[in-house]
Structure 1
Amino acid sequence: MNLALLFDEDFLSPDRVLLRGRRLEHLNTVLKACAGDRIPVGRVNGAMGHGDVLRLTDSEAELQVNLNQKAPAPLPLTLILAMPRPKMFRRVLQTCASLGVKDIWLINSYKVEKSFWQTPWLSEDNLRENLTLGLEQAKDTAMPRVHIRKLFKPFVEDELPALLVGKRALVAHPGMATPCPTHLSEPAALCIGPEGGFTDYEVGKLEEAGCQSVHLGPRILRVETAVPVLVSRLYDGCL
């Protein structure tokens, strides 16, 4: 059963919450809750537990909650992702949240069209909404952080080296000699390019910053497929 995710503004008191809007719809259509039901709940960036539905109307639901369980452990992964096409961006965000990725960097690349950066899905409200959908699906509460960097070279030269300190740094790119590693336990940073991959120049700059180039085999995958395949290959804990 999916989780009802609670934000600070939902709380009327330490153990009472009021849900409206999409999350009320989630309560009705996904959790199919009725007054008197007990459902799984969790507070954003906090504990999980259960909520008893005290009152349910067409416009709001009031719950009494007991939060006494830890959320799943996050993956020790920094995901550096060339901005995907807007039509798949939402699904990629939700997938990342469901898998336990908590640190996401959206970067530019030669093959990223300028129009991609104009998508309304990059607004703070839409980012939160899609990350929330992923957390609800996976029964998690830790909200991922999304960083936006629209210039490739300044990011790779000025920020990326420090970001990679203490991590196993990888860039996934077709045709490389080394296969992607598996069963990691240490922190890692993973760079994934756009549809069509990074350019040779970009791969070279990522390698200069400290990344090792790896491949997934001879097949070319869409970004929305490559993300879960790579993350689940690196970390057993996301499964």
Structure 2
Amino acid sequence: MNLILLAPDDIEHDQLACVRDPRRLRHLKEVHRARVGDSMTLGIAGGSIGRGELLALDEHEARFALGAMDTLPPPPLPVHLVLALPRPRMLARSLEHATALGVKAITLLHSQRVEKSYWQSPELAPDKIQTHLVLGLEQARDTVMPTVSLAKGFRPFVEDRLPELLEARRGLLAHPEMAQACPRGLEEPVALLVGPEGGFIPFEVERLIEAGCEGIHLGPRILRVETAVTALLARLF
């Protein structure tokens, strides 16, 4: 982790923080090889970033003296990512990559080619999703947690939720063989829709286009979902 993300419960007062969860302690010891006196990058969840001095580290906790926490997190991308629910292992990577790149709003969508069993995956438990979002924030030195919502019905999403999303955003449907190449260097707000493995079925593509989305492509290569999401976000913004 490139940043130690401090939850409100980690901060004992304005000048002292204490980390006790096993994952972060293990990372401090095994990856950072942290030693008392080290200066490390810390961030307050939902807030600012700064430096802190490691005062103590043992099997149970790490204690930090907080310095000036006066650096703002990196700016978010102006995008709402609508992602057809990937298989569980791919979901974990997609959430981490999208979060690291600055996505702050994610909707996981059902479609015809999404296996119904995916919706029963433990990876959709709130604590699991939270873990992957935190990993993405730590990677990118960010502190602002994305929101993740579930849309288990394609038709209700298109009829009830998509029109609201498109009121203030340009809708872009990433799908192979669309006529328009993915645009570059956008600054306007975007709703980016990415299908499952195998893509959206023709009926779904038609409905999304009818709702106001523009079809775009990344070229002739067929990419895995997490690769496509990363490539699209990098090219768009």
TM-score, normalised by the number of residues in structure 1: 0.96
2:94 to 92, 95, 116: 92
In structure 1, the partner of 2:178 is: 176
Q: What whole-Å deviation, never above 9, does each CA across 1:186-230 have from its counterpart, x for those lacking one?
A: 111100000000011111111122110111111111101101000
Q: CA deviation at 1:88?
A: 1.1
In structure 1, the partner of 2:28 is: 27
Amino acid at match of 1:27: L
2:214 to 187, 212, 215: 212
Q: CA deviation at 1:107?
A: 0.5
Q: CA deviation at 1:135?
A: 0.8
3-state secondary structure, aligned to 1:95: helix
Amino acid at match of 1:124: P
2:154 to 133, 152, 156: 152
Conserved 8 A contact 1:2-1:31: no
3-state secondary structure, aligned to 2:204: helix
Output the CA distance in 2 between the equivalents of 1:15 and 1:96: 32
1:200 to 185, 202, 207: 202
Output the CA distance in 2 between the equivalents of 1:28 and 1:131: 22
Conserved 8 A contact 1:4-1:27: no
3-state secondary structure, aligned to 2:25: helix
Q: What whole-Å deviation, never above 9, does each CA across 1:13-52 have from its counterpart, x for those lacking one?
A: 1221111221112222232211111100101110000111
In structure 2, the partner of 1:16 is: 16
3-state secondary structure, aligned to 1:181: coil
Conserved 8 A contact 1:174-1:220: yes
Q: What whole-Å deviation, never above 9, does each CA across 1:93-115 have from its counterpart, x for those lacking one?
A: 11011100110000000000011
Q: CA deviation at 1:140?
A: 0.8
Amino acid at match of 2:19: L
Amino acid at match of 1:11: I
Q: CA deviation at 1:122?
A: 0.8
1:225 aligned onto 2:227:
yes
Output the CA distance in 1 between the equivalents of 2:160 and 2:17: 44
Amino acid at match of 1:157: E
2:135 to 133, 136, 143: 133
In structure 1, the partner of 2:39 is: 38
RMSD: 1.0
3-state secondary structure, aligned to 1:69: coil
Greater mean alpha carbon deviation, residues 60-69 or residues 94-103: 60-69
Where does structure 2 lack aligned partners over 5 or more consecutive residues? Answer: none
TM-score, normalised by the number of residues in structure 2: 0.97
Where does structure 1 lack aligned partners over 5 or more consecutive residues? Answer: none
Output the CA distance in 2 between the equivalents of 1:48 and 1:170: 33
3-state secondary structure, aligned to 1:84: coil
Identity fraction in percent: 51
In structure 1, the partner of 2:107 is: 105
Q: How many residue pairs end up in the alignment?
A: 235
